[in-house]
A = this chain, B = another copy of it.
């Protein structure tokens, strides 16, 4: 990243750092007391891109939003409710999602095909439409992004937001985002919602290309518990208010734009992993020396998804055997004698054997808030990073009694 210094990560960045975007959120009554209805709105129609869950059963709002963006390529208003996923709700669920879309269009005076809808929460209950209608009636252009960030949460304990500024065509453009996701998160995005906005002008097809490509290296590299939900989506809106020459892969600053966008998406991904249900730590797995990208990803995901690695990190047990074992069942073939494994700066496995690193030093390292596991396969030049969290008593507590 030679150009990385041209990307400025804001200390307290929000989706509304992108010019012309407003956002807000309120309590409409689906959840007991927490905010549960949020919105994003752009002054002008924005080019829009989306990526959606690969679960075979896509919830109604996912189907509606996907169809809308495929047809119009443009979004001006996004509404989101938490507390109810409107998933596995049949025809009535589809009607409800369409009504949400129509009412928001009327309220914000935009065409219905410029409205995206998203829902997250319990699967299988019908939306309480009276509450949703009330929420839509309260949409307010003077509200703040931090209310939106709260309104989209479910079991999350903190809001997730980030923004960067990047110089494009001599103009400082902004890219900001907000996300939610805590449990039921896995490669291929599950019960994860992400909303990213930029005031740059980007060609719609290029926007979709960028989002798809960078989702693979960011949101698709998180794992909390291996479950993939029916409701995930990430939307990316570009309203062009900075009036740069339209960005596309042939634009001289395209790579810079991609790097800025990846920075925001990776920040949000890390924040989601760190706030995994019951998590006390962020785990980062860095795999290098892979013969191909797929092998690198398989190894990183096997480690980050291993319940045994996750409980060992929670227990501050530097049990490298579990890491090596996960590499072994990742589905790829390797020479065990070439593999190096390190915990932070401490090499713990090489030449097919554990090293003599003192257990006390490793236990101390596992006290850190972020635990980094490095694996060098010494088998090529591909690399990857995956993010996850430890598995704790609190995960069980949250999920054994989610609905009660």
Q: Is A8 an interface residue (CB 8 A)?
A: no
Knowing A315-B400, A317-B402, A319-B402, say if A227 contacts B123 (CB, 8 Å): no
A317's contact among B319, B327, B333, B403, by CB below 8 Å, is which? B403
Nearest to A324 among chain B residues (CB) is B88
Distance (Å) between the CB of A377 and the closest chain B CB?
Answer: 11
Q: Is A35 an interface residue (CB 8 A)?
A: no
Q: Is A293 an interface residue (CB 8 A)?
A: no
Q: Do A308 and B227 touch across chains, with their CB atoms under 8 A apart?
A: yes
Q: Mark A308-334, 1 if CB is under 8 A from B, else 0.
A: 100110110101111011111110111
Knowing A320-B124, A400-B311, say if A90 contacts B328 (CB, 8 Å): no
Q: Do B226 and A399 touch across chains, with their CB atoms under 8 A apart?
A: no
Q: Mark A170-199, 1 if CB is under 8 A from B, else 0.
A: 000000000000011010101000000000
Nearest to A56 among chain B residues (CB) is B328
Bound form: Cα–Cα A332–B391 in Å: 28
Bound form: Cα–Cα A215–B230 in Å: 33
Q: Is A158 an interface residue (CB 8 A)?
A: no
A227's contact among B190, B326, B349, by CB below 8 Å, is which? B326
Q: Is A149 an interface residue (CB 8 A)?
A: no
Q: Do A57 and B327 touch across chains, with their CB atoms under 8 A apart?
A: yes
Q: Is A307 an interface residue (CB 8 A)?
A: yes
Q: Do A308 and B57 touch across chains, with their CB atoms under 8 A apart?
A: no
Bound form: Cα–Cα A229–B333 in Å: 15
Nearest to A309 among chain B residues (CB) is B227
Q: Is A275 an interface residue (CB 8 A)?
A: no
Q: Mark A85-108, 1 if CB is under 8 A from B, else 0.
A: 101111000000000000000000
Q: Do A352 and B399 touch across chains, with their CB atoms under 8 A apart?
A: no
Residues of A within 8 A of B (CB): 54-57, 85, 87-90, 122-124, 183-184, 186, 188, 190, 225-230, 305-308, 311-312, 314-315, 317, 319-322, 324-330, 332-334, 336-337, 349, 351-354, 391-393, 395-397, 399-404
11 A–B contacts, CB within 8 A, in A order: A55-B325, A55-B328, A56-B328, A85-B321, A88-B321, A88-B354, A228-B328, A315-B402, A315-B404, A392-B400, A395-B396
Q: A227-B306, A315-B404 are in contact. List 13 more A-B contacts (CB 8 A).
A: A56-B334, A56-B336, A57-B327, A88-B349, A88-B353, A90-B337, A124-B349, A124-B354, A307-B399, A311-B399, A315-B399, A391-B396, A393-B393
